[in-house]
Chain A
Amino acid sequence: MAATDSPGSPGALRSPGPKGSAGRPARPVNWAVRAVAGRVSFYFFVALVTVFFALPLTWLVLAPFEAHPTFVAGLSQPTLSNFATIFDDPGVLVSLRNSLILALATMVVVVACAAFAAYALSRVRIAGRDIMLYVLLLFSSVVSGSAAMVPLFLLVFDLHLINSLTGVILVLAGGLLPAAIFILKDFMDSVPTSYEESARVFGASPFQILRDIVSPLVRPGLAVIAVWAIVQVWGNFLIPFILLRSSSLTPGAVEIYSFYTSGGSVNLALISTFSLIYTIPVVVMYLFVQKRYGFRFHGGIKR
C-alpha cells in the first residue's frame, strides 16, 4: 500500500508528512481529528454537566422574582410581591427563628462535646479505642435516620421531650457527635504533644491546656465541625417533623411543607421564595467562615 502511495518520489524525503511514514500514511490526520473531536466532546460534556447543575439554581434565583413562576426559568413579569407575601406570613419568621435556635444550639453542643471527647480520645490510650470510634461512626451513619426513628421517638417520649426544641437538639447532636469526634480527633492527633507537655510542666490543668493551647491550634477543625453541624441541622427535615407538634416550633425545613395548597398542589412562587431566603444564611455563613477561619497553621515547632 505504501509503495503505491509514494512510488519513490523525491518529495517523500523532503516532507516526512503522511507520505513519508511508510506503512501508516493516514495516521497523523487521524490523530488530529481525534484530538479535536476529543476536545469538542469533552467541552460538550462539561457544558452538559454545568447546565444540569446550573439550571435548578438559576430557577431558584429567578423564580422568586417572577409573578407566576412555572418550571421554566425566566423573568417575564418581574416582581417583589412574593417576598411581601412570604414576610406577611407569621409562620415564616417564626420558622426561621426556630431553625436558627436549633442550628446554633446543636452546633454549640456538638462542638463542645466533640472537643472534650476528641481530646480525651486523642490523648488517653485505652484498649480498643480506634475500634470503638469506628463502630460509633458506623452506627451513627447506618443506624440513625429513618431506621432509628421509632426507638428515638419512644426515647424522647419517655424523656417528656416531645414537642420541645431541647429534644430535637439532643437527638440531632447525638446523631452528629460520632462523626464530629472522629474528624476532630484527627485534628487533635496532629497537635504535637510537646506543646502540652511544656504547659503541664508549668502546672497547667488538662482543661487549661485544652482551652489555651489545643483549641486555638485545632481551630480550623472546630470551624469545620461547627459549619457542618449548622448545615446538617439547617437542612434536616425528618427529626423536627417527627418530634415537633406545634407550628410555633417548626423550623424552616418543615415550614416549606406548608406552601402546598389544600388540594396538594405546589405554590411555586412561595416555595421558591422561601427556599431562596432559607438558602442565603448558609451561603453567607460559609463565605464568612472561609474568610475568617481559612486553613492556616503558624508553625512554632522546630523539626
Chain B
Amino acid sequence: MAAVTISAMTKVYPNGVKAIEDLDLGIEDGEFFALLGPSGCGKTTLLRLVAGLETASSGRIAIGGEDVTRRPPGARDVAMVFQDYALYPHMDVADNIAYPLKIKKVAKAARRQQAEETGAHLGLAEVMSRRPAQLSGGQQQRVALSRAVAFEPRVFLFDEPLSNLDARLRMEARTFLKRLHAELRTTTIYVTHDQSEALALADRMAVMDHGVVRQIGTPAEVFHRPANLFVAGFIGSTPMNLLSAVVAGGGLRIGDVAVPVPHGAAGRVRDGEDVVLAARPEYITLRRSPGGDALPCEVTITEDLGTSYLVTAELAGEALRVVVPEGECPEPGDRAWAAVDWSRALLYRQDGGDLIGADAPGVPGTGAASASDSAAPDSAVSDSFGAR
C-alpha cells in the first residue's frame, strides 16, 4: 500500500496530441480514487502513465514516496486490470492467477496455493481448471481481479473493469469491488466514464476533460457542488438543468421570468452579468398552482422511469427537467409551477463556466457520507402535483 503522487505531469504523443497537460494529483494511501471523464479525456493515459506503460513527456510520479517516473512497468509494484481483462487464453484460471507470481519467482507449490486461495475467496473455486473462454463475463472479470489481488501490489490500477458487463452484473461487480476494497484497503485508481460507478465506488474522484482535471473531491462534493459547467453537465444520471440567465436588480431573469439568486451565490454577482442557473431535476418540485417564488412553465414531455417520472417543461423558451414522484405525473400541455430548492441550486459564470461562490460554506449535502444519483428531494410534497 502506498500513496501515489503525480506532479506537473504532461504527456504528448509522438503525433502531437496532448493527452495530459501539467497535471497534479495526490492519491492517499488506501484510498479508492476514481478518474472520471468522457472518452478521450486522458484518464486512461494517466492510468497507463502510473503503470509505466506510457512514458511521461515531463513531470514526476511517486509511489509510496519513491520516484518511479523512469522505472519500467514491472518495477513499480502495481497491478492493472484491463478493460478486456487480458486473460491468457492458453492457461487455465489457476495458471492465469498464478502467472504474476511465477514472474515474481514464487515457488510452484506456493503460487499454486496462493492462486487457489485468492480464487476461492473471489468465488472462483468451481472454475479453477477452466480456460477463460469457458467462463461467463462476470467470472472472467473476477479472474482478472484475482490475478491482481494475488500479486499483492502496492497500488491497483483499474481501467474500466466493469464496462464489458451487462447492467445487472455491473451492479453486482460494483458492490463486490467496494467490499474487496474495504477488506484489502489497497490504494486503488479506478478509471471510468460512468459517473454513477465513480460516485458509488470512490472515496475521492477527479473529473477530467481534455487532459486537465476539472474537479477533485469526494463524490458528495462533486455531485452537490460541481466546480464548473463541465462537471455540472457530466455528473448525475439525469443531467442537471443549465439555464442561461442575466443578473438584473438583485435577482435573475430567464427570458421575462424573474428568478431569485441561489443562496450560495447571493451577493456575489453584478447587475447585467451573464450567468447559468443550475438545478438538479431531483431538487425541483412541480406544483399545480403558483406560490412563493415558483416559476411558471408548461409541461411538454413526460418519461416513465419506474419509481418516478422525468418531466420536461418549458420555462421562458428553455427546457426544464423535473423528477416527479410516482403517481404525481402531469399531462403534456398542463400549466405548472416549478419550485426550485434554492439552497441546492447553483450559479455559474457564463464566461469561463466557474461556480459562483465556490468557497461558500454550509451548503447542504456536501458533508453527506455518500451521494446517490437517485437522491429524492427532501422538499415538502404536500402541495406538489397529484397531492391535491
Q: Which residues of B contact A199 (CB under 8 A)?
A: 99, 103
Contact sample, A vs B, 15 pairs, CB 8 Å cutoff: A194-B82, A195-B88, A198-B80, A198-B86, A200-B53, A201-B74, A201-B157, A203-B73, A203-B75, A204-B103, A208-B103, A217-B89, A300-B88, A302-B84, A302-B164
Least CB distance from B104 to A in Å reads: 7
Least CB distance from A292 to B in Å reads: 15
Q: Which residues of B contact A303 (CB under 8 A)?
A: 84
Question: Complex: how many Å from CA A213 to CA B88?
Answer: 7
Residues 79 to 105 of chain B near chain A (Cβ within 8 Å): 79-80, 82-90, 99-100, 102-104
Whether A202 is near chain B, meaning CB under 8 Å from some CB there, is: yes
Whether A263 is near chain B, meaning CB under 8 Å from some CB there, is: no
Q: Which residues of B contact A212 (CB under 8 A)?
A: 88, 99, 102
Least CB distance from B54 to A in Å reads: 10
Do B84 and A192 touch across chains, with their CB atoms under 8 A apart?
yes
Do B133 and A298 touch across chains, with their CB atoms under 8 A apart?
yes
Do B74 and A300 touch across chains, with their CB atoms under 8 A apart?
no
Do B85 and A201 touch across chains, with their CB atoms under 8 A apart?
no
Out of B74, B85, B99, B102, which one reaches A301, CB within 8 Å? B85
Whether A297 is near chain B, meaning CB under 8 Å from some CB there, is: yes
Question: Complex: how many Å from CA A205 to CA B104?
Answer: 11
Contact with B along A268-303 (1 / 0, CB 8 A): 000000000000000000000000000001111111
Q: Which residues of B contact A130 (CB under 8 A)?
A: none
Do A300 and B51 touch across chains, with their CB atoms under 8 A apart?
no
Q: Which residues of B contact A5 (CB under 8 A)?
A: none
Do A300 and B104 touch across chains, with their CB atoms under 8 A apart?
no
Out of A200, A202, A205, A297, which one reaches B89, CB within 8 Å? A297
Do A192 and B104 touch across chains, with their CB atoms under 8 A apart?
no
Question: Complex: how many Å from CA A297 to CA B90?
Answer: 9
Q: Which residues of A contact B99 (CB under 8 A)?
A: 199, 202, 212
Question: Complex: how many Å from CA A17 to CA B7?
Answer: 89
Q: Which residues of A contact B100 (CB under 8 A)?
A: 202-203
What residue in chain B is nearest A299 (Cβ atoms)?
B133
Least CB distance from A89 to B in Å reads: 46
Q: Besides A197-B80, A204-B103, 7 other CB < 8 A contacts?
A: A200-B72, A200-B73, A200-B74, A202-B100, A203-B104, A300-B132, A301-B87
Q: Which residues of A contact B75 (CB under 8 A)?
A: 203
Residues 71 to 116 of chain A near chain B (Cβ within 8 Å): none
Question: Complex: how many Å from CA A40 to CA B72?
Answer: 70
Least CB distance from B161 to A in Å reads: 11
Whether B353 is near chain A, meaning CB under 8 Å from some CB there, is: no
Least CB distance from B72 to A in Å reads: 8
**Given A203-B103, A217-B90, A299-B89, is A198 in contact with B82 using a C-beta cutoff of 8 Å?**
yes
Whether A11 is near chain B, meaning CB under 8 Å from some CB there, is: no
Q: Which residues of A contact B83 (CB under 8 A)?
A: 194, 302
Whether B78 is near chain A, meaning CB under 8 Å from some CB there, is: yes
Do B84 and A301 touch across chains, with their CB atoms under 8 A apart?
yes
Using a Cβ–Cβ cut-off of 8 Å, how many residues does chain A contribute to the interface with B?
Answer: 25
Chain A residues with a Cβ under 8 A of chain B: 192, 194-195, 197-205, 208, 212-213, 216-217, 219, 297-303
Q: Which residues of A contact B86 (CB under 8 A)?
A: 192, 194-195, 197-198, 300-301
What residue in chain A is nearest B53 (Cβ atoms)?
A197
Contact with A along B90-127 (1 / 0, CB 8 A): 10000000011011100000000000000000000000
Least CB distance from A37 to B in Å reads: 51
Q: Which residues of B contact A301 (CB under 8 A)?
A: 84-87, 89
Q: Which residues of B contact A300 (CB under 8 A)?
A: 85-89, 131-133, 140
Out of A201, A205, A298, A302, which one reaches B140, CB within 8 Å? A302
Question: Complex: how many Å from CA A302 to CA B85?
Answer: 7
What residue in chain B is nearest A125 (Cβ atoms)?
B14
Whether B151 is near chain A, meaning CB under 8 Å from some CB there, is: yes
Least CB distance from A132 to B in Å reads: 20
Q: Which residues of B contact A302 (CB under 8 A)?
A: 83-85, 137, 140, 164
Least CB distance from A296 to B in Å reads: 10
Question: Complex: how many Å from CA A199 to CA B91?
Answer: 13
Query: What 5 pairs across the A-B complex have the smallest Cβ distances?
Result: A203-B74, A300-B89, A298-B89, A300-B132, A202-B100
Question: Complex: how many Å from CA A212 to CA B104?
Answer: 14
Do A202 and B103 touch across chains, with their CB atoms under 8 A apart?
yes
Do A202 and B79 touch across chains, with their CB atoms under 8 A apart?
yes
Whether B52 is near chain A, meaning CB under 8 Å from some CB there, is: yes
Question: Complex: how many Å from CA A115 to CA B264?
Answer: 66
Do B132 and A298 touch across chains, with their CB atoms under 8 A apart?
yes
Least CB distance from B153 to A in Å reads: 9
Instruction: Please indicate which of the listed interface residues B51, B90, B131 has the most CB atoms of chain A within 10 Å of its own CB.
Output: B90
Instruction: Please indicate which of the listed interface residues B72, B103, B132 has the most CB atoms of chain A within 10 Å of its own CB.
Output: B103
Least CB distance from A115 to B in Å reads: 16
Question: Complex: how many Å from CA A253 to CA B80?
Answer: 55
Q: Which residues of A contact B74 (CB under 8 A)?
A: 200-205
What residue in chain B is nearest A216 (Cβ atoms)?
B90
**Given A202-B151, A203-B74, is A197 in contact with B132 using a C-beta cutoff of 8 Å?**
no
Question: Complex: how many Å from CA A302 to CA B90?
Answer: 15
Q: Which residues of B contact A192 (CB under 8 A)?
A: 84, 86
Question: Complex: how many Å from CA A300 to CA B85?
Answer: 8
Do B103 and A201 touch across chains, with their CB atoms under 8 A apart?
no
Question: Complex: how many Å from CA A195 to CA B90?
Answer: 11
Least CB distance from A287 to B in Å reads: 24
What residue in chain A is nearest B132 (Cβ atoms)?
A300
Q: Which residues of A contact B104 (CB under 8 A)?
A: 202-203
Least CB distance from B154 to A in Å reads: 12
Least CB distance from B169 to A in Å reads: 12
Least CB distance from A214 to B in Å reads: 10
Question: Complex: how many Å from CA A258 to CA B10?
Answer: 73
Residues 38 to 74 of chain B near chain A (Cβ within 8 Å): 51-53, 72-74
Q: Which residues of A contact B88 (CB under 8 A)?
A: 195, 212-213, 216, 300
Q: Which residues of A contact B82 (CB under 8 A)?
A: 194, 197-198
